[in-house]
Each structure stands twice: as structure tokens, then as C-alpha cells.
Amino acid sequence: MAVDSESNLDKKFIQTMKLLNIYLNHFPSHEKHGLALKIRQTAYDMYDYIVEAQKRYHKKTTLTNLDIKHEQLRMQVRLAFELSYFGHPKTEKMSVQKLNAKRYLVISASIDEIGKIIGGWIKSLKQ
């Protein structure tokens, strides 16, 4: 993977985390130390694996772990959507369902884009 692509992964991940943290701050208070914390921790673990993969000479195991963490994050975010936690409004005037769907679509697309970058990185190692 080129240094340029690694830089793009860093930028995309940080952009996604900024948005995700905003959304997680709007979760219901009973989930602040539950699913919201779990999503944050999984995302931070992903970032650790990104840094590790960029520094290691043999990347296969690290990239496999990164891919697993990415899938865990995707599933945790989907669970939050199914529980309508993204639609927990504080001051928004949208309906809870619309807000939940809108936020989920935005963050899900961003997470999927990260997954494509990771997949490309893994594919480039196999060649």
C-alpha cells in the first residue's frame, strides 16, 4: 500500500471518528457507559491497528485484526441504529426515526469507505 493510501486511511478514520464522537454524545444517557463506550473502544482499537500496520514489516496478522475490528465496529453501529440510539434528539426538530436513519446512513457510509481502503490494503499484500 502506498504512503498516499495510508495517509488517506488516517484522514478518513479521523474524519469518521470526529463525526462518530458527536453522534455518540447524543446517545441516551443510560447507554453512555454501555454501547457508546464499546463503540468508542472498538474504534480506538482500530486506530491502534492502523498505526501498527503502517509500522510493521509483516502486516498480515495486524491487517487481519484490523479487518476484524472494522467488522465489529460496523456491527456495533448497526446495533445502535436498530435500537434507535442515533435518533435520540436533544434539540433537533426532526422525528426520531428520520434523525436515526440520517445519522446512521452518514456514519455507515464513512465506515464502509474505511473498509474498502482496508480491503484494498489487504488485497495489495496478496499480490
CA atoms of 92 and 35, how far apart (whole Å) = 22
pLDDT at site 26:
87
C-alpha cell at 89: 434528539
CA 45 to chain centre: 10
CA atoms of 67 and 102, how far apart (whole Å) = 25
Q: 101 CB contacts (<8 Å, ≥6 apart)?
A: 81, 87
C-alpha cell at 103: 445519522
29 is in which domain, residue-wise?
3-126
Give the count of domains, the chain: 1
The one-letter code for the residue type at 78 is R
CA dihedral 40, 21, 112, 60 (to 10 degrees): -40
CATH of the domain at 101: 1.20.1440.60
- Per-residue pLDDT 10s for the chain (127 aa) are 545 556 789 899 999 999 999 999 988 888 888 999 999 999 999 999 999 999 988 989 999 999 999 999 999 999 999 998 988 766 556 688 888 899 999 999 999 999 999 999 999 888 7
